[in-house]
Amino acid sequence: MSASVLLFGHGVPLSDPVLAGLAVRDITRLFQEPAPGSRIDALLEPFLDPYVRGFLLGMEARAFDEAAAIVVWRQGAGALHAYRYATELRRQGLLPAGPPLHLWNRAVSAGPAAQVFDARQDAQLTQALARLPRETPVDRAGPLAVLEAMQAAAQITGGEAFRRRLRARACGEPVSTAPVQAPASDRTAGPRFALAGAPLGGRELHAWLDRQGALVLDLQGPDAPRDDVGDLLTRRRVSVLVWQVDPNDDLHGWRKPALLRLCAKMGIRFVDLGFLSPWPQRPDLPKVLR
Enumerate the domain spans of the chain: 5-128, 141-284
pLDDT category at 248 given cuts 50, 70, 90 is confident
In tens, the pLDDT along 121-178 reads 999 999 999 999 999 999 999 999 999 999 999 999 999 999 999 999 999 999 999 9
3-state SS record for the chain: CCCCEEEECCCCCCCCHHHCCCCEEECCCCCCCCCCCCCCHHHCCCCCCHHHHHHHHHHHCCCCCCCCEEEEECCCCCHHHHHHHHHHHHHCCCCCCCCCEEEECCCCCCCHHHHHHHHHHHHHHHHHCCCCCCCCCCCCHHHHHHHHHHHHCCCCCHHHHHHHHHHHHHHCCCCCCCCCCCCHHHHCCCCEEEEEECCCCCCHHHHHHHCCCEEEEECCCCCCCCCCHHHHHHHCCCCEEEEEECCCCCCCHHHHHHHHHHHHHHCCEEEEEEECCCCCCHHHCCCCCC
Q: Mean pLDDT throughout 99-103?
A: 98
Q: What is the pTM of this model?
A: 0.94
What is the pLDDT, as a whole number, of residue 2?
78
Question: In the CATH scheme, what is the code of domain 5-128?
Answer: 3.40.50
